[in-house]
Amino acid sequence: MKRNLTYRLLFILLVFVGSIVLSYPPSEKINLGLDLKGGIHLVLQVKTEDAFEVETSQRREMIEADFKEENLVFTRTQVTEDFGIEIIGALQDQERQLEIYLDQFSPAWTYRPRYREGEVDMVMVMSSAERKALADRTVRDARETIQKRVDQYGVAEPTIQIYGSGSIQDQIIVELPGVEDFDRVLNLIKSTAMLELKLVHPTDGGPFATREAVLQAFDNRLPADYEIITYPNSPETGGGSTYMVVRKAPSLTGQNLKTANRAQDDFSGRSEVAFFLDSEGVNLFTRTTEQNVGNRLAVVLDDQIYSAPRIDERIASESARITGNFSPEEAEDLALVLRSGALPASIQILENRIIGPSLGLDSIRRGVVASLVGMMLVVLGMLVVYKASGINAIVCLVLNLLILMAVLSGAHATLTLPGIAGVILTIGMAVDANILIFERVKEELRLGKKIRSAVDAGFDRVFTTILDTNITTLIGAAVLYQIGTGPVRGFAVTLGVGLVANIFSAVFVSRTLFSLVLQKMEVETLSI
């Protein structure tokens, strides 16, 4: 019995010392949340329609290329408003060949014929399951891209979480503690950073002063494979905004990007962005420049041309540059978003808030004061009501808080304002279990049992109640952590850790302290 008690005391001492070591100094090991440190809170909505449009356009181009290769006659193809594909003007004599092709095209697409005189149109529709999968994949990819950009920017303990109602989860909550340069971070996050290298029209590519001038040059019949793109800082017009005609299908995209860095022009000293291609990108770049010597190649970023150099010779290099009127900071940010990859769809800002650090400091001060006042009231109450036995509860309370701080420090957890509320709640619940035990012990004493028997009975009969109460609340904390955002998660973490520590201190530590006193001293009456 004595040996068992010694082991229990050594274990408690080990927990006590370990908690102090782990938690010191707490200011360096516990991160402060957005509501305490200040920073930026954003609610973003991913425009999944963009992903539908890209997927449908790529499918349409694939169909056109395959039809030409198979000598299937058709007038044109087009993308519908609900992101379907229409194959217009196919010959009815080739309907069976069309059906064979479309049956093998993709299980995610269905089709139906629409007959006209001598011709048949095929109307293709993406299945609802594929739409849902594509939307979910787009939101996940957007979250990962934003995470990479935030990590490269150097924000400590950001919260980036997918959120939504029901089956539609197309929102992303971003919380960045300690960030004050709101505009710069917002541009980093929302920039799509879709890099494309597109060939300029070989004869009438521009630049043109207006869109009307472009259409006039083509007699209002722009080739189906080409599009008009803005060239905001064209050197040919002294930096004015112009328009150019480029191929819709890019010769190279940011998917072939290996890395990107800020660079400096050796002659002008201007900042620019150097990007480097992977092996597939080098092959595509080499082939494009080899086949289009004398033509211009536009560097397009987010549907705007940054430069359009002429191809003078075959280029087999892995590096290229984006020039423009960049400040060093703009070039650095552009390189950052290119390294992290393009967003799969554009995003809309639904909510943005800037939380000042002064509010956080005031919250910390008030939270600390509330915790100390609450703890002092609990200590006073336990001493008044339970006399000497109240010291037992106070020791358990102190150890409970030490364990809580040690776990938060060891995990480098983020403390939020609701997290401080969780600490205060932990103080109350830490003595709640002791109250249940003490009251049960008093009942056993009133029944005439000896002190040791009353203490043992009190702990044994209340153990199940304490366990049930704490586990039930722990389940609630787990649910809050799963569905909540940053501050709510902070509350769930402190509450959950506090509950586990409470079970340990109230049952194991408190009983050990009673056993120590009863074994070392001849106690005739229990001060309870």
Residue 3: predicted pLDDT: 64
Q: How far apart are CA 357 and CA 364, in angstroms?
A: 11
- Overall residue count recorded for the chain in this entry: 528
List the beta bridge partners of residue 125: 110
DSSP run (H or E) holding 112: strand 109-116
> At 116, which helix (H) or strand (E)?
strand 109-116
Q: How many CA atoms lie within 13 A of 368 on its CB side?
A: 6
What kind and span of H or E run contains 43?
strand 39-46
Shortest CA distance to 158 belongs to which of 34, 320, 21? 34
Q: 232 near 304, Cβ under 8 Å?
A: yes
Given a contact cutoff of 8 angstroms between Cβ atoms, the answer to whether 444 and 453 are in contact is yes
The span from the CA of 226 to the CA of 243, in Å, is 13
Helices 486-503 and 417-446 pack at an angle, to 10 degrees, of 20
**Is 79 strand, coil or helix?**
strand
Quote the pTM value: 0.62
Tokens of 306: 């940054």
Give how far Cα 387 sits from Cα of 291, 401, 417, Å.
93, 22, 34
Provide the residue type at 411 as one letter: A
Euclidean distance between CA atoms 120 and 86, whole angstroms: 11
Backbone angles phi, psi at 206, to 5 degrees: 105, -165
Buried b (16+ CB within 10 A) or exposed e, 94-125: beeebeebbeebeeebebeeeeeeebbbbebb
Going 150 to 151 to 152 to 154, the CA torsion angle's sign is positive
pLDDT at 220: 85
Q: State the Cα–Cα distance between residues 394 and 356, nearest whole angstrom.
A: 37
Question: What is the full per-residue pLDDT of the chain (528 aa) written as tens digits?
Answer: 566 788 888 888 898 888 888 888 776 777 777 777 778 888 889 888 888 887 888 788 788 878 888 888 888 888 888 888 888 888 888 888 888 888 888 888 888 888 888 888 888 998 888 888 888 888 888 888 888 888 777 776 778 888 776 667 888 988 888 777 778 788 778 777 777 888 899 888 878 888 888 888 888 888 878 889 988 877 766 666 789 999 887 887 777 777 788 888 777 777 888 878 888 888 888 888 888 888 888 888 878 888 788 888 887 777 777 776 677 887 787 777 777 777 778 888 888 887 766 556 676 777 778 778 877 888 888 888 888 888 888 888 888 888 888 888 887 777 777 888 888 887 777 778 888 888 888 888 888 888 888 888 888 888 888 888 888 888 888 888 877 766 677 788 888 888 888 888 888 888 888 888 777 766 667 777
Contact 241, 230 (CB under 8 A): yes
Is residue 403 within 8 A of residue 501, CB to CB? The reply is: yes
What domains appear along the chain, each with residue ranges and CATH number? 2-38+357-520 (1.20.1640.10), 41-46+132-352 (3.30.1360.200), 48-127 (3.30.1360)
Tokens found for residue 425: 């709640």
Two tokens, residue 72: 């299937």
Distance CA 512, CA 392 (A): 10
CB atoms within 10 A of CB 499: 25
Write out the two tokens for 415: 């403390």
The alpha-carbon radius of gyration of the chain (Å, integer) is 34
Sequential DSSP letters for 157-169: S-EEEEEEETTEE
The position carrying tokens 């959950």 is 496
Cα 203 to the chain's mean position, in Å? 46
Question: Taking each helix axis from N to C terminus, what angle separates 417-446 and 451-483, rounded to the nearest 10 degrees?
Answer: 160
Q: Which of 467, 469, 473, 455 is nearest to 510 (CA)?
A: 455
In whole angstroms, what is the distance from residue 428 CA to residue 369 CA?
15
In what helix (H) or strand (E) does residue 122 lie, and over which residues does it extend? strand 119-126
The angle formed by the CA atoms of residues 460, 462 and 467, to the nearest 5 degrees, is 105
* Structure confidence at residue 485 (pLDDT): 66
Q: Where are the beta strands (DSSP E) in 207-360?
A: 226-231, 242-247, 252-253, 257-264, 271-277, 297-301, 304-307, 319-326, 347-355
Sign of CA dihedral 177, 180, 186, 189: negative
**Distance, CA of 31 to CA of 521 (rounded, Å):** 45
Comparing C-alpha atoms, which of 477, 440, 478, 443 is closest to residue 462? 440
Taking the CB of residue 519, how many other CB atoms lie within 10 A of it? 12
